Amino acid sequence: MSGLALPALGLAQRAVQALPALFADLSLRSPAGEIVLLESSGYAAAGKGAARYIADDLCDAALLDAHPRFVFAAANGRIFRLFPEAGSLSAEQGGALGDALSNDQPAIQAAIDYAEAIGARELRFESAHYRIHCPVRTSPAADTRAEDGHPLVVRRTLALRGCAPDRSVLDFRGVGGADPDSNWQTVARSVADSAPAVWRGGGLYVQGDTPRPTTQPRRIARLTLDRLVLQGNRTRTGVATWPADPVTGDGWDISDKAFWSQDCYLGEIHCTDTDMIGWRGEIFYLAGAVDAVRRLSVTRCRFLTTNGNAFNPGVDCDLVARDCEFGDCFQAQEETGKTSAVYRNCLWRDCETLGLGSGPAGGYLYNIAFPTRDEAAAPPATVLDGCRFHSAGLLSIASWVRGHIVTVDTRVHMTGNAAMALRDVDLKIDAWIDRRPSFQALTFYGVYTLTEAVPGAPADTHKQPPTQVRITLRHFRTALAETLGNEWLGIVWAGYIARNCRIAVSGDYASARTPNGGDNPLSMPFVAFTGGTATTAYTPQGIYKGASLSASGVLAPAGPLMALAVTGESALALTLPAYPAGGAAYGYADRQQVRLVKQLDQGSVTFTKGAAPSMAMMATRTLDHRDDWIEFTYNRSRARWEESGFFSTA
């Protein structure tokens, strides 16, 4: 061999050392010192998980020991690590097969860990379907900081992004790949309580800072989920008791959350085009201090199918939800309140209950339910823009909710007892009745006593009547509802309610059901009533019953349209009170109208001019015949009802 051939052979050898190979084969190479970049043709098979590997200052023995799927030592001792392309690596580069058969949990978790270690910004899922087996849990169920038993754990800023033609499915199974519906672990409830608790483990567990960072940035400044399906493979059995039964596994399994962040601090969470379907506990769960998360954005996401709660963003973060769906569950949403929450074109469906609104703004006042705000700043706001509620059972509305919604077979419920100081609501409701049997579209309850203590508050701090609540309600009935005989009952209110509250009611509700506040209401919001005809009674439940007046006396207004029937041929004399039973502070609103309609021909009702200072009339009026009526309008400055209309067939 000539001397001229030696340099050529050396160059050829260097070229061979730099040729692409499978990841495992790269460790058999001995690349020269000037070679700092090697390429793989794949992780275990060519074409799957191809990557580039670099030898730089991050490459040391500690990195090699911690991340053997992404770091290797060459035959000559040099250490190379996977070099993310534009800050991005893939699960396949850590050995994930994405074949829907093999357990990819170790590879995916290893990829998350490596991305966090080197500061990569994104983990890609290039295949269509990844099977993920739950690891074994040994820590007690109540240890919210323990990571064992969670399939996937994120601890640093990262984007998890599906890159398959459709979306990438993360298919979560039980331990060893078992069916999570019929297989689960039992672990101790807590360190102090060895009683068994169900553990299914959920899906993605987010481990943020603890304790709260004061000056430095949060280690999870931004967490992104994009184009993924977190498939839990759990069915909804309809049993919502919790905790889940350790023998049958049924019930609300609070260990089984698709997205779980608790008692730690994060920056922003952004979910786009991501579904979380088929779990047994809270599907999306945030819990902890009010500022545990700064911002939550969910766009074109679905949170469906659980025995528990579909959506529970239980911290005071800035929340925006667009084109999302929540439901097929016991509770579609549980809300502890937000300084700012905006829902646009969202759907809540097929559940027994859900709740929206209340605050707090920056911190709790007395407890989690009491509406709290910073009065030096703008009021909190939960805005519902074009949102729909289909077969959602009971929709509870608390403070600071505004917008326009459509309900189908759903009752809107507001109560000062639960909201404790219900305030500042402006809601327009288009209510449709369809397959659900006759019921009320709206129930509005104040407080029943002015001396009920607020839990956790100083002495003599009491629940307060609702104030500044505005509801515009339009009733609709589908053709199917009409065929089935399903019809709207009248809305009802009860308890102490501030007179500045207003309810405007119209539309296709049954003529025998009218808005009412009970036989002798404590208070009465301003109620405007359009359409329908009078009923012969006005019960707290808003249900028609055939009742008649049998004695003269004071008739308490209980709605803008009331029907009066007389027992036998009695001639009764009636007056109207200056205030409802709750007194002047909770009296009638100025310009409130009440129309009283005679129901039958028998008997008579007379309103006598001058009979009471609480009633001003142009003349004595008698309702003798069926459909005779008299109308009064309330003058608050004079605390009296003034005649504003009269009709008699006589």
- Read off the pLDDT of residues 138-155 as tens digits, 9 standing for 90 and up: 999 999 999 999 999 999
Which candidate, 605, 554, 600, places its Cα nearest to that of 581? 554
The answer to whether residue 352 scores a pLDDT higher than 80 is: yes
Which candidate, 408, 416, 489, 486, places its Cα nearest to that of 448? 416
Rounded Cα distance, 256 and 425, in Å:
34
Rounded Cα distance, 636 and 534, in Å:
25
569 and 444 within one domain = no
Q: What burial letters (b/e) apply to 415-443, b meaning 16+ CB within 10 Å?
A: bbeebbbbbbbebbbbbbbbebebebbbb
Asked if residue 524 belongs to a domain, the reply is no
Task: Give the range among 299-313, 424-438, 590-604 with minimum mean pLDDT.
Answer: 590-604
The answer to whether residue 509 scores a pLDDT higher than 90 is: no
Task: Give the range among 259-268, 357-366, 420-429 with minimum mean pLDDT.
Answer: 357-366
Interstrand relation of 331-333 and 309-314 (parallel, antiparallel or unpaired) = parallel
Report yes or no: 462 and 455 within 8 Å, Cβ to Cβ. no
Rounded to 5 degrees, what are φ and ψ at 588?
-70, 150
378 and 420 within one domain = yes
Q: How confident is the model at residue 6 (pLDDT cuts 50, 70, 90)?
A: very low
Which pLDDT score, from 0 to 100, does residue 532 have? 54
If DSSP codes are grouped into helix, strand and coil, which group holds residue 647?
strand
Which candidate, 323, 335, 273, 267, places its Cα nearest to that of 295? 267
Q: How confident is the model at residue 529 (pLDDT cuts 50, 70, 90)?
A: confident
Rounded Cα distance, 112 and 89, in Å:
9
577 and 504 within one domain = no
Asked if residue 530 belongs to a domain, the reply is no
Final residue in a domain of this structure, among 37, 60, 82: 82
107 and 199 within one domain = yes
146 and 180 within one domain = yes
Task: Kindly report, residue by residue over 57-83, the tens digit of the pLDDT.
Answer: 999 999 999 999 999 999 999 999 999
Which pLDDT score, from 0 to 100, does residue 12 have? 47
If DSSP codes are grouped into helix, strand and coil, which group holds residue 479?
helix
Rounded Cα distance, 398 and 420, in Å:
9
**Strand order, beta sheet including 553-554:** 553-554, 571-575, 604-607, 621-623
* Residues of the chain above pLDDT 70, percent: 93
Final residue in a domain of this structure, among 82, 100, 129: 82
Rounded Cα distance, 132 and 136, in Å:
13
If DSSP codes are grouped into helix, strand and coil, which group holds residue 356?
strand
Which candidate, 445, 433, 418, places its Cα nearest to that of 477? 433
AA letter at 379: P
Rounded Cα distance, 435 and 194, in Å:
47
Rounded Cα distance, 495 and 483, in Å:
36
Instruction: Tell me the mean pLDDT in the region 322-348.
Output: 95
596 and 640 within one domain = yes
349 and 220 within one domain = no
Asked if residue 264 belongs to a domain, the reply is yes
If DSSP codes are grouped into helix, strand and coil, which group holds residue 332?
strand
Q: State the DSSP string of 100-163.
A: EEEE-HHHHHHHHHHHHHHT--EEEE-SSEEEEEEPPP-S-TT-TT--TT-SEEE-SSEEEEE-
Q: How confident is the model at residue 2 (pLDDT cuts 50, 70, 90)?
A: low
* Residues of the chain above pLDDT 90, percent: 78
Task: Kindly report, residue by residue over 216-273, the tens digit of the pLDDT.
Answer: 899 999 999 999 999 999 999 999 998 999 999 999 999 999 999 999 999 999 999 9
72 and 21 within one domain = yes
AA letter at 588: Y
Which pLDDT score, from 0 to 100, does residue 4 have? 54
Task: Give the range among 123-132, 378-387, 554-563, 602-611 with minimum mean pLDDT.
Answer: 554-563
Report yes or no: 347 and 327 within 8 Å, Cβ to Cβ. yes
75 and 99 within one domain = no
Which pLDDT score, from 0 to 100, does residue 1 have? 52
| CATH number of the domain bearing residue 291 | 2.160.20
Asked if residue 105 belongs to a domain, the reply is yes
Asked if residue 162 belongs to a domain, the reply is yes
Rounded Cα distance, 269 and 296, in Å:
5
Q: How confident is the model at residue 375 (pLDDT cuts 50, 70, 90)?
A: confident
Rounded Cα distance, 74 and 463, in Å:
72
Examine residue 243 and say whether the peptide bond preceding it is cis (omega within 30 degrees of 0): yes
Q: Please state the domain count of the chain.
A: 4
Rounded Cα distance, 480 and 435, in Å:
7
The whole-chain average pLDDT of the chain stands at 91
Asked if residue 350 belongs to a domain, the reply is yes
End-to-end CA distance of the chain: 133
Q: Which helix (H) or strand (E) holds 419?
A: helix 416-419
Report yes or no: 286 and 261 within 8 Å, Cβ to Cβ. yes
Rounded Cα distance, 275 and 306, in Å:
13
Angle at 282 between CA 278 and CA 287, to 5 degrees: 150
285 and 371 within one domain = no
Instruction: Tell me the mean pLDDT in the region 482-500.
Output: 90
pTM over 0.75: yes
598 and 638 within one domain = yes
Print the domain residue range for 604: 553-647
Q: Which helix (H) or strand (E) holds 12?
A: helix 5-17
Task: Kindly report, residue by residue over 161-207, the tens digit of the pLDDT.
Answer: 999 999 999 999 999 999 999 999 999 999 999 999 999 999 999 99
382 and 242 within one domain = no
Rounded Cα distance, 257 and 275, in Å:
13
Asked if residue 517 belongs to a domain, the reply is no
Task: Give the range among 276-290, 375-389, 483-497 with minimum mean pLDDT.
Answer: 483-497
Asked if residue 547 belongs to a domain, the reply is no
How far from the centroid of its chain's Cα atoms is residue 613's Cα?
A: 51
Rounded Cα distance, 80 and 318, in Å:
42
Task: Give the range among 336-345, 403-412, 448-457, 529-538 with minimum mean pLDDT.
Answer: 529-538
Task: Give the range among 4-18, 287-301, 530-544 with minimum mean pLDDT.
Answer: 530-544
CB within 8 Å of 632: residues ≥ 6 apart: 576, 593, 594, 596, 615, 641, 642, 643, 644
Final residue in a domain of this structure, among 82, 113, 147: 82
Q: State the DSSP string of 597-620.
A: EE-SSSSEEEE-TTS-TTEE-SS-
The DSSP secondary-structure symbol of 585 reads G
Which candidate, 648, 596, 595, places its Cα nearest to that of 625? 648
Q: How confident is the model at residue 359 (pLDDT cuts 50, 70, 90)?
A: confident
